[in-house]
Structures are given as structure tokens and as C-alpha cells.
Amino acid sequence: MLIVTALALLLVAWLLGQPHLQEWRRRRWRAQPFPEAWRQILKKRVPYLRALPADLQLQLKKHIQVFLAEKAFIGCAGLAITDEIRVTIAAQACLLILNRPHTDYYPGLRQILVYPGAFIVDKVHTDETGVLQDHQRQVLTGESWSQGQVILSWQDALEGAATPDDAYNVVIHEFAHQLDQETGLANGAPNLPGPERYRRWSRVMHEAFEQLQDEAAHGDEESLFDHYGATDPAEFFAVASETFFERPGPLAERYPTLYHELCDFYRVNPLSW
């Protein structure tokens, strides 16, 4: 009995000590000099970052160091993982977690699987009654799983970083899903501080989502958002996040309430960059 009690106490002590140990490790990683080779990768592959204020650039680099220390990158379909791949993807992912007082670095994420280009997945289709139908093959450039994986096309991640003003960025899109999935299944409502914020978020997002659905139904080519965002609220949040970071001016002009809501959530104002 004494042995069992002692083991239980040791387990409790270990569990209580894990957050402190994790933060100690992160402080060490953040204190390391940012490698010059990584700096050159950012300069070459992620030109968007040069527009950030100096303090955010520094913060982003520290986040990249922690992110790369904690997350595993796995090459698929023969792709060899390099620092260029890791740093380019990490930089875009870490844009979404700037200015947070307690950065969790996507706590549910363990692995980033990277394909050379678009990849094929089999989707199981169910009808409206829940009956299992045929498998459907889909060609994707990215996918976010609640089981701890993000899957990306390297070609599309590279192109998204190279063209920072087209509101198409597969890394931002999939990592917005990761933030959404911190509260469970992706539903367009990420973790927010309190009921009032959820009510406000729901009102603002729903209004913009309905407008996009109407535009998509009528084939409106002047829509600010990719019509894929009309699929469901989760996809709208991800598409809106791409637009927020890459086309903040038009978003603030046409959807000022939505823009300010995303400013509050992401804790940055891209219009000031």
C-alpha cells in the first residue's frame, strides 16, 4: 500500500512539474541565437515577413525556434525534409500565434506531414441519414487533423509564402483549422475568452458567412473570399484568416466588423505593417 501511495505521489508531482519543465525548455530555445542559415531562408522564401515591425519579427523568430524544437516534420512520397521546408512552414504557422501572453504552440499538434505537391486522399461519404456511401478520391493541398497532424503540399506552401497578397496560403489555412480544433471538432469557433466573446464572434462570422454563401450561389466573381469558404463555418474561418493576413486592406474596407474581430483574436493589425 505504501509503495502504491508513493508511486501515486510521484506521478502527481511529475504531472504538476511538466508545465514548468516545458516552459523552462522553451525559454532555453528562445534564448538561443537565431541561426544565420534560417535567417537567409526567411529572406528568400518568406518575403512577407520583412513588412513586420522589428519587435514582431524578433518574436516570430523565437516562436519558430520553439516550434521547430517541438514539432516533427515527416516527408511523404519521397520528399526529404530540409531546413528550408521546416523554417518556411514554421514561419507561416507562427504568424497566427503572435502576441499571446501564454503561447501554447498548437498543443494538439505533433507532426507536420509534407508532400512534394498536391496529394490524393480517400474520403468516406455519408448521406444525410448517416448511411455510409462510396469512397471519394480528392486531390488536396492541405489538411488538418484533430489527431495531431497537419498535412501540407510543399509546392503550395512555398507558393503561398512567395505571393503574400493573393489571400491564398495553405499553411495559414490549415493552422487556422488547428486553432479551431483546440476546442474539439472544427466548427469555426476557436478558443475565445468567455461567453460574450463567443456571442459576438458568432454574430459577426455568421453574417459574413451568409453573405459569402449568397455570393458563391450566384457565382459572384467580385467576392473578396475564396468561395470554398462557403462550404461550412470552419472553412470560412480558415479562408477569412488567409484574407486577414494577406489582404487586410480590402477586408477592413468591405468587412470592418469582421476585420476587427480577427484583429482581436489574432492580436495583430496587419494594416499597420
Banded model confidence at residue 55, pLDDT cuts 50, 70, 90: very high
pTM above 0.75, yes or no: yes
Classify residue 90: in a domain, yes or no: no
Rounded (10°) angle between helices 83-94 and 170-180: 60
Classify residue 115: in a domain, yes or no: no
Classify residue 81: in a domain, yes or no: no
Q: What is the CATH number of the domain that holds 228?
A: 3.40.390.10
Give, in degrees to the nearest 5, the angle at Cα 93 between 89 and 96.
Answer: 160
**Mean pLDDT rounded to a whole number for the chain:** 90
Classify residue 211: in a domain, yes or no: yes
Give pLDDT tens digits for 6-25.
444 444 334 445 678 999 99
Give pLDDT tens digits for 216-268.
999 998 999 999 999 999 999 999 999 999 999 999 999 999 999 999 999 99
Give pLDDT tens digits for 127-183.
556 555 556 667 889 999 988 999 999 999 999 999 989 999 999 999 999 999 998
Classify residue 214: in a domain, yes or no: yes
Give pLDDT tens digits for 75-129.
999 999 999 999 999 999 999 999 998 889 999 999 999 999 998 877 665 555 6
**DSSP line for 184-231:** SS--S----SSHHHHHHHHHHHHHHHHHHHHHHHTT-TT-SS-GGGGS
Classify residue 241: in a domain, yes or no: yes
- The domain of 208 spans 187-273
Classify residue 5: in a domain, yes or no: no
What is the number of domains present in the chain?
Answer: 1
Classify residue 255: in a domain, yes or no: yes
